[in-house]
Structure 1
Amino acid sequence: MAYMIPETIPGSATQGERILFNTFRKHLPDNYIVYYEPHINNGQHRRPDYVIIGPDLGLLVLEVKDYTESTLHMLSPDEWQLHTQKGTGSLETVKNPITQARNYAFHIHNKLKKDRNLLQQEGAYANSLKFRYGYGVVFTRMKEVHMIRSEIHRCIDLNLVLTREQIDPDDEQFDADHLLERMSNMFPIPFHQRQWLSEEDMTAIRYHLFPEVRIRADIQHRGYYQDDVLLSLHNIQAMDLHQESLARQLGDRHRLIRGVAGSGKTLVLATRARTLLREHPDWRILVLCYGSPLSCNIRSMIMHKLREPEDLFEWSAMEAIGEGEQTNETWQEQLEIGTFHDWMYKHFPLKFSMSEKENERQIQELLDQLENGTITAPQYDAILIDEGQDLEHQWLELITKSLNPDTQSLVIVEDKAQKIFRRKVSLSRNTGLDFRGRSKILNINYRNTSQIVHFAWEFYRSHSKLKDKFQNTITASDVAEIIPPQGTKRKGPEPQMRHCSSIEDEMKWVTEQIQYLHREKKVAYADMAILYRVKGSYKNAFIVDAIRQGLQQSEIPFNWFAENKRTKDRFDRYEATVKISTIDSAKGMDFRAVFIVNVDGMPREKAKDEEWDEEVSRFYIGMTRAMEYLYLSYSRVEGFAKWVDEKARLATGK
């Protein structure tokens, strides 16, 4: 069964298009990727009907036509005249469909040929693509006999054609092996074993053709060949196929995405924002979350995606001649990104209050005024919400008052295992939208190594009181399901644990590890963070002072971005400093190395019984911020440090 992107065909598709889509899904090999109507280059509106990539196939472009014999009027190798409506006598002139398919294939060939890693390096075919590319046409309502009778064979080589009996499983002549054979013949050059595409090759092809899947890549070589820029990309990271399919299929009104920590929820949301901005230049789009640092991070992700050109090779050429990136100002006008509270105080007549009860009262009055028409809410054609588990029910009601009822384009992403506030929310009741059948799960953790995933989940599973709600499916109710993560195959070092004599001793160990990682493992300071959990007391200042003093003594640059609202609003994830933050403010972010100090401070003193799972979630959140290296330190064997100390003893055999 091939991987289809998107997973389902639009409701507007014809019967023949549905048959072809389902045939590809059921009868092509598991390692084939089938793209339906992908945007190859939005700027020039290149959108072939199908692009199929397979390790033993290469890359195949197909145009699909729903013509019948009565549709055809006059055919030539260049242009075809078609009857627009039966019996009206009206005619339209179109390109020969094989010309369309060929042009798409040549465009893709020319784009991919600029990646040195996708070229043959030696021999007679040096500097040619190291895999095959081909093209063809599918006639969903015509059989081979119709090809001859209509003389289509005079305009298109029948080796480049698929007909109804070759794509319809209900036809007595259908044979899946014959279908693959026919597709393999749609290539101008013969197949050789050395032309098999590796998994890395297929990722590189996706990376170049579909900008929305890009995460990062290193350009390690830039050169010129026949006046073209040549790139050599390394360490390519792209969305996996499930993430990509989900990001492409979110346009159908409201959606709920539930995912584990590190599953790429924020990446999918940022990609969705980019797609909406490009496909709907007249839309107003709102992106909201709970915390200021996360909103800064989301803004950075979206802006990076918007600044990045469709064609990386054009970008490389611009860099080579010293041109900087430009951000389209219209995107700034279309797009609004921020925290819920900043958005609320900006657009509604509310006064800031430290009292939660007073805030609840003000918001309820505001909802009443909106209901009776005394005031109006700002209107957005699409609203995207990250860390949705942190929002109150009143907040969701207020947000949905600003949603265009015609588009109903609301996307909420959440992870109940990262819930750190006692919110009582019913999505169906608080938004007025039914999410049944409109929910997706992301249960694979891509951020962390398998060692960190297993370590963090073992803690959460053994301490959470929500064990009966762990499940991998989404029910029709609004019960808070906890989704167990599935780790990736990415390996790394085991989490490191240290029992110290004091917080100063903890910082001595932490700074030693930071210096080692920076010197020996080439981990940038920007990719390291020190997290702590204490709340509003003298001890809070004491812990932070110890952290800052330890870093200063070791001459390690740092930024305590969780200090106050001003520092949170100015947060720069990529500043060349070690970040100091509470666990709460680090939600939604990740770093190559994370140090959690004062583990014995969790759960916090005087935590009520109903706050237990919030404290468990905090520690789980903190640990899953670490992509590769996780360090835990404590000076007393109490609280969650008891569990950590036990794990440390088991690891050392003491």
Structure 2
Amino acid sequence: MAQIHPDFYTIQHLHQPATEGELILLDFLQKNLNMEFEIYYHPFINGDRPNIVILKKGCGAIIISVNDWDLTDYAINDDLDWWNNSTSTKVQSPFSQINYYKENLVSLHISTFLEKKMNKWYYSNIIYTLVYFHKMSQDNIEKFIHENISKEDNKNKFLKDIKYIQYWGYDSLTLQNLEEYFSKIRIEQPSFLFDEDIYNNFKRYLKPPFHQLEEGINIKYTKAQAELIRSESRPRRKIKGIAGSGKTLVLAKRAVNAYLRTNSEILILTFNLSLKNYIRDKINDVRESYPWEKFYITNYHQFIKSEANNYNLPIKGLKSYTDINFFEPVKNHIKKYKAIFIDEVQDYQTEWLEIITKYFLYEDSEFVVFGDEKQNIYRRPLDENKEPIIKTIAGNWNKSLNASKRFTSEIGKLAMKFQHHFLENKYTIDNMVVLDNPMLDFEQRNIKYANIGAKASTERIFNIYKGTCKKYCLNPADITILSGTADILREIEYSIRTQLKENTTTTFETKEEYDKSELETKSKNNFEERINTIRRYRRNHFSIKTGTVKLSSIHSFKGWESHTVFLIIEPHKSDSIQDFESVELIYTAITRAQVNLFILNMGNEKYDSFFNDNIQN
């Protein structure tokens, strides 16, 4: 018999009981598969919740969706959209849902998978998909498809879209069908593609580890932090903190305390996808015992996409993310949380917060947001006090986090001068206190500035970087290079890899990936989609603990910190839709540096006189 996680007894006594179809299929699979197969029921794959995943080491994986729809209640229109006839609402098809699960495993969740797929397209063939319609026979499924898709072109397109998805009815659960399916997909034959690395990455998501108390570290919280880390039932708090004041430190400890208080899953949301790993690192530092599966950390857009897919709701463009009634059709089925924490709340639209509290938060539960309006890089509207608008939380902001240990006093002073010069008319200026940080006491400290002109080549920037590293004996593991966009960084990253023969960590595509995508895609939309897929993947797996130089857009590095920062300020582009050198963005970049800050200005006159006056080279 196959291994099943969790065991049948646990599955039958879960808070949310398994459906009849799930239990029948699990029983069938366990009895007919041998011990080499691992069956995972409702694994939580960072937001995605497929019904069943089957794993066979060295061979491959199968994602299974169990569907209890009576297809006679549904229809498919000429655009191949699925509709629920009884509610007259558009729904996501079971085939689209399972494709989303697979694409996220390949292009987002599983480390190294996307690179392997880009080099060898057939890598995605080691993950198979199956939809089980528990209330329909195999013949009735076929009948539904052919009766609802009459146009030959549509039928061909639909069959092409589901070509690699197996679908079964309730009468398909026979040993013969199972053996024929396994023979077709060759799941029982060893595959060099499904190597130890990919298998272990699968297991990390399907069966997360338990964090032991000894894995944490002793953290000395300030008085202000100690007052904010206590988890409480029913509070709604908004906490403001300056850069480096320990907002994420407080969030991490309070989130762990919330788990210890409620013994339930904790939801932590950010705006920046790459920041999830920084929060995870901070939670890992907390000296307590807890299961990692109890912490769901992601960014807002990924959260909404995953939840929509889990409940078969189609995303209709950007408007779906701000539609405060989007989840209304499934409101009685949504999984809710007893504690939700939001970092970078200054980047959130007010509608997002309404959606979170309306559909995902239990009444009288803990809801705490953290922010700093000086890092308002998306220029969200502020209230009359020049503070972020948080309609879902009444009262004043807690402003006790005004002391920073992140950076040296020199960087702190520069940040405060920048606030007074550029931000005084837009925001309330911080009363910043820079605390002594013993870890920085014996460090060589450098703040340097140069205006290299708008026509400076990436080769010149690379040579300045190389010369600076040599002059100040900088370790690549301590360095982060930041800029408003990836265009310049991509060329510099290429030079670091090819000329210095050093590995890198980035939040964007390599030059080779960019050029290859241009050659292989047939349209601008396809090209942008591929580049965005690579960037989502890189941000999702970004970490500063790689021992290599890091390169990132300022947007994707917001919330992180780095020993040494090279900041490239790009020329002002009046025709650009987005402002990639706004004062909020430059302030955010400056406050990422802990010890060394090297600023290269590509002829942006807005900042030249300020940095010349305030940095002694």
Q: TM-score, normalised by structure 2?
A: 0.54
Query: Where does residue 301 of structure 2 map in the other structure?
Result: 341
Query: Where does residue 487 of structure 1 map in the other structure?
Result: 434
Structure 1: gaps spanning 5 or more residues:
1-210, 218-236, 311-327, 471-481, 535-539
C-alpha displacement of 1:577: 1.0
Which of 352, 357, 381 is residue 424 of structure 1 equivalent to? 381
Which of 331, 336, 357 is residue 379 of structure 1 equivalent to? 336
Distance 1:453 1:612 in 2: 25
C-alpha displacement of 1:529: 0.4
RMSD: 3.4
8 A contact 1:637–1:645 mirrored in 2: no
8 A contact 1:497–1:631 mirrored in 2: yes
8 A contact 2:262–2:338 mirrored in 1: no
Query: Where does residue 352 of structure 2 map in the other structure?
Result: 395
Letter of the structure 2 residue corresponding to residue 483 of structure 1? D
1:221-262, Cα deviation, whole Å (9 max, x unpaired): xxxxxxxxxxxxxxxx63222212221366661111101111
Letter of the structure 1 residue corresponding to residue 590 of structure 2? M
Letter of the structure 1 residue corresponding to residue 461 of structure 2? E
8 A contact 1:369–1:375 mirrored in 2: no
Which of 280, 284, 290 is residue 303 of structure 1 equivalent to? 284
Query: Where does residue 574 of structure 1 map in the other structure?
Result: 545
Matched, 1:584 2:545: no
In structure 2, relative to structure 1, the CA distance for the partners of 1:457 and 1:607 (3 Å cut) is farther
C-alpha displacement of 1:586: 0.3
Matched, 1:630 2:559: no
1:499-578 equivalences under 5 Å are: 499-500=451-452, 502=456, 503-515=458-470, 520=473, 523=475, 525-534=476-485, 540-550=486-496, 552-563=498-509, 564-578=535-549
In structure 2, relative to structure 1, the CA distance for the partners of 1:639 and 1:245 (3 Å cut) is same
Distance 1:541 1:364 in 2: 30
Distance 2:388 2:243 in 1: 24
C-alpha displacement of 1:398: 0.8
Query: Where does residue 266 of structure 1 map in the other structure?
Result: 248
C-alpha displacement of 1:484: 3.9
C-alpha displacement of 1:343: 0.8
Distance 2:501 2:433 in 1: 39
Distance 2:388 2:419 in 1: 28
1:419-439, Cα deviation, whole Å (9 max, x unpaired): 011323779986543234x73
Distance 1:244 1:646 in 2: 39
Which of 411, 415, 422 is residue 456 of structure 1 equivalent to? 415
C-alpha displacement of 1:632: 0.8
C-alpha displacement of 1:515: 4.3
Distance 2:610 2:483 in 1: 17
In structure 2, relative to structure 1, the CA distance for the partners of 1:303 and 1:452 (3 Å cut) is same
Query: Where does residue 594 of structure 1 map in the other structure?
Result: 565
8 A contact 2:414–2:614 mirrored in 1: no
Letter of the structure 2 residue corresponding to residue 340 of structure 1? Y
Q: For CA contacts below 8 A with separation 6 or more, give which structure has more relative contact order.
A: 2
Letter of the structure 2 residue corresponding to residue 444 of structure 1? A
8 A contact 2:343–2:370 mirrored in 1: yes
Secondary structure at 1:256 match in 2: strand
Secondary structure at 1:382 match in 2: strand
Distance 1:216 1:516 in 2: 35
Query: Where does residue 138 of structure 1 map in the other structure?
Result: none
Distance 2:329 2:257 in 1: 35
8 A contact 2:407–2:595 mirrored in 1: yes
1:189-219, Cα deviation, whole Å (9 max, x unpaired): xxxxxxxxxxxxxxxxxxxxxx99x9967xx
In structure 2, relative to structure 1, the CA distance for the partners of 1:529 and 1:215 (3 Å cut) is farther
Letter of the structure 2 residue corresponding to residue 278 of structure 1? L
In structure 2, relative to structure 1, the CA distance for the partners of 1:624 and 1:251 (3 Å cut) is farther
Query: Where does residue 129 of structure 2 map in the other structure?
Result: none
Distance 2:216 2:584 in 1: 27
Secondary structure at 2:445 match in 1: coil
C-alpha displacement of 1:401: 1.7
1:366-410, Cα deviation, whole Å (9 max, x unpaired): x33555876653200000000000011111011112454443200
Query: Where does residue 444 of structure 1 map in the other structure?
Result: 403
Secondary structure at 2:337 match in 1: coil
Letter of the structure 1 residue corresponding to residue 432 of structure 2? P
Query: Where does residue 414 of structure 1 map in the other structure?
Result: 371
Letter of the structure 2 residue corresponding to residue 439 of structure 1? N
Distance 1:588 1:488 in 2: 19
Which of 282, 293, 296 is residue 274 of structure 2 equivalent to? 293
Letter of the structure 2 residue corresponding to residue 549 of structure 1? S
Query: Where does residue 277 of structure 1 map in the other structure?
Result: 259
1:111-141, Cα deviation, whole Å (9 max, x unpaired): xxxxxxxxxxxxxxxxxxxxxxxxxxxxxxx
Q: How high is the sequence identity, in percent, across the aligned residues?
A: 24
1:317-328 equivalences under 5 Å are: none
Letter of the structure 2 residue corresponding to residue 400 of structure 1? T
In structure 2, relative to structure 1, the CA distance for the partners of 1:268 and 1:289 (3 Å cut) is same
Distance 1:296 1:500 in 2: 34
8 A contact 2:484–2:570 mirrored in 1: no
Distance 1:252 1:571 in 2: 34
In structure 2, relative to structure 1, the CA distance for the partners of 1:463 and 1:350 (3 Å cut) is farther
Q: Which has the larger radius of gyration?
A: 1
In structure 2, relative to structure 1, the CA distance for the partners of 1:432 and 1:614 (3 Å cut) is farther
8 A contact 1:460–1:617 mirrored in 2: no
Query: Where does residue 141 of structure 2 map in the other structure?
Result: none
Letter of the structure 2 residue corresponding to residue 493 of structure 1? R
Secondary structure at 1:548 match in 2: helix
1:53-452 equivalences under 5 Å are: 238-248=220-230, 253-281=235-263, 283-305=264-286, 308=287, 330-332=291-293, 334-348=294-308, 349-351=312-314, 358-360=317-319, 362-363=320-321, 365=323, 367-368=324-325, 370=327, 376-424=333-381, 431-436=391-396, 439-452=398-411
In structure 2, relative to structure 1, the CA distance for the partners of 1:380 and 1:417 (3 Å cut) is same
Secondary structure at 1:633 match in 2: strand
In structure 2, relative to structure 1, the CA distance for the partners of 1:352 and 1:582 (3 Å cut) is farther
1:141-184, Cα deviation, whole Å (9 max, x unpaired): xxxxxxxxxxxxxxxxxxxxxxxxxxxxxxxxxxxxxxxxxxxx
Secondary structure at 2:318 match in 1: helix
Matched, 1:498 2:450: yes
C-alpha displacement of 1:528: 1.6
Distance 1:504 1:620 in 2: 26
Distance 1:351 1:406 in 2: 27
Distance 1:586 1:622 in 2: 8
Distance 1:636 1:363 in 2: 38
C-alpha displacement of 1:274: 1.4
8 A contact 1:370–1:376 mirrored in 2: no
Distance 1:443 1:351 in 2: 43
8 A contact 2:233–2:365 mirrored in 1: no
In structure 2, relative to structure 1, the CA distance for the partners of 1:261 and 1:294 (3 Å cut) is same
Distance 1:604 1:485 in 2: 32
Structure 2: gaps spanning 5 or more residues:
1-211, 510-534
Secondary structure at 1:407 match in 2: strand
